[in-house]
């Protein structure tokens, strides 16, 4: 009888300034035979040292910690050439701004702290296999849209009737108008007869193209360029 090959053990370092949180995550992860927590730290600076010392497969790091936060730590690791350790950021905040900053810093994943065990384990395996995993209202579709190169002019299916600032499409301009009028993504999807996910994608692209982080900046820049 042929033996089933054993899975490679995935080594993990936990970075969170609350020991109870670390204990809970460790207990959850170590129920899996192929996951091993090889270190714990309480801030970003300690995380940098631990990654350098132990070179784990995965660093799971809280977004907010004393001395050095999660996003800044991930950015330093990638700048220092520590790409062999893949980073998953943990956060209580489901916001476009935090997710966008995490992606730009080089994080391979972004999980909310209320994520269940099944999704947590799935995220770790996805990231270890070279993929990306982001939970929350901003779906993988939006993140992949950010990571992919911009499509060529020839491949664009939406034709603009006139040039607009920031190279916005007509649909993006319409979504912008509705967003600034106070409509939710669900309401906009009903008005434009598109799926909610499509509207989320348009909204994400607006923020990226116009280089803004929140609705206040979006409104200000839109009015400055006579978009509304």
Q: What is the pLDDT of residues 200-217, one digit of tens each?
A: 888 888 888 898 888 888
Q: Could you list the residue range(s) of the whole structural domain that residue 93 is in? A: 10-137
What pLDDT is recorded for position 78? 86
Residue 53: give its domain's CATH number: 3.40.50.2300
- Asked if 103 and 169 sit in the same domain, the reply is no
Tell whether 143 is covered by a domain: no
- Asked if 41 and 132 sit in the same domain, the reply is yes
Last residue of some domain: 108, 137, 166? 137
- Asked if 81 and 187 sit in the same domain, the reply is no
Tell whether 21 is covered by a domain: yes
- Asked if 108 and 167 sit in the same domain, the reply is no
What pLDDT is recorded for position 170? 82
Is the pLDDT reported for residue 172 higher than 90?
Answer: no
Q: Which residues pair with 134 in a beta bridge?
A: 110
- Asked if 170 and 125 sit in the same domain, the reply is no
* Cβ burial, residue 94 (10 Å; 0-12/13-18/19+): middle
- Asked if 131 and 157 sit in the same domain, the reply is no
Tell whether 201 is covered by a domain: yes
Last residue of some domain: 137, 165, 192? 137
Residue 181: give its domain's CATH number: 1.10.10.10
What pLDDT is recorded for position 163? 55
Q: What is the DSSP letter of 8?
A: P
Tell whether 4 is covered by a domain: no
Query: 5 or 225, which is more confident?
Result: 225
Q: Give CA–CA dist 202/149, Å, rounded.
A: 16
- Asked if 44 and 157 sit in the same domain, the reply is no
Tell whether 144 is covered by a domain: no
* Global model pTM greater than 0.75: no
Is the pLDDT reported for residue 141 higher than 50?
Answer: no
Distance set, CA 67 to CA 43, 45, 47, 58, 73 (Å) = 6, 7, 11, 21, 10
Last residue of some domain: 137, 167, 184? 137
Strand, helix or coil for residue 179: helix
Is the pLDDT reported for residue 159 higher than 60?
Answer: no
pLDDT tens digits for 70-87? Answer: 999 999 998 887 778 999
Tell whether 146 is covered by a domain: no
Strand, helix or coil for residue 134: strand
Strand, helix or coil for residue 133: strand
- Asked if 116 and 20 sit in the same domain, the reply is yes
- Asked if 170 and 126 sit in the same domain, the reply is no
| Domains identified in the chain, total number | 2
What pLDDT is recorded for position 50? 96
Strand, helix or coil for residue 32: coil
Cβ atoms of residues 155 and 144 within 8 Å? no
Sign of the Cα pseudo-torsion (206, 210, 211, 212, in order): negative
Tell whether 66 is covered by a domain: yes
What pLDDT is recorded for position 39? 96
- Asked if 157 and 79 sit in the same domain, the reply is no
Is the pLDDT reported for residue 43 higher than 80?
Answer: yes
Tell whether 46 is covered by a domain: yes
Q: Give CA–CA dist 92/112, Å, rounded.
A: 5
Radius of gyration for the chain, computed over Cα atoms and rounded to the nearest angstrom: 20
- Asked if 128 and 159 sit in the same domain, the reply is no
- The predicted model gives 80-99 an average pLDDT of 82
Query: 17 or 81, which is more confident?
Result: 17
Q: pLDDT averaged over the chain? A: 82
- Asked if 133 and 20 sit in the same domain, the reply is yes
Strand, helix or coil for residue 194: coil
Q: Which residues of 12-33 are buried (b: 16+ CB within 10 A; e: fewer)?
A: bbbbbbeeeebeebbeebeebe
Is the pLDDT reported for residue 90 higher than 90?
Answer: yes
């Amino acid at each position: 009888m042929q033996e089933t090959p054993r899975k490679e053990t995935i080594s993990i370092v936990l970075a969170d300034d609350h020991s109870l949180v670390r204990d809970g995550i460790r207990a959850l992860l170590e129920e899996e035979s192929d996951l091993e927590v090889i270190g714990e730290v309480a801030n970003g600076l300690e995380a940098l040292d631990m990654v350098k010392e132990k070179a784990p497969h995965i660093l799971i790091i809280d977004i907010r910690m004393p001395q050095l936060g999660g996003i800044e730590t991930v950015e330093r690791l990638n700048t220092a050439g520590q790409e062999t350790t893949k980073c998953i950021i943990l956060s209580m905040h489901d916001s476009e701004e935090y997710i966008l900053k995490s992606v730009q810093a080089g994080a391979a994943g972004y999980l909310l702290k209320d994520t269940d065990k099944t999704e947590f384990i799935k995220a770790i395996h996805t990231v270890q296999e070279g993929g990306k995993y982001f939970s929350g209202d901003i779906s993988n579709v939006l993140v992949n849209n950010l990571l992919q190169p911009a499509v060529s002019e020839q491949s664009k299916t939406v034709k603009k009737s006139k040039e607009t600032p920031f190279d916005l499409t007509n649909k993006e301009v319409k979504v912008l108008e509705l967003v600034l009028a106070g409509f939710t993504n669900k309401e906009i999807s009903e008005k434009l007869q598109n799926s909610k996910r499509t509207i989320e994608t348009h909204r994400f692209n607006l923020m990226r193209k116009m280089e803004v982080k929140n609705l206040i900046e979006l409104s200000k820049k839109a009015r400055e360029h006579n978009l509304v």
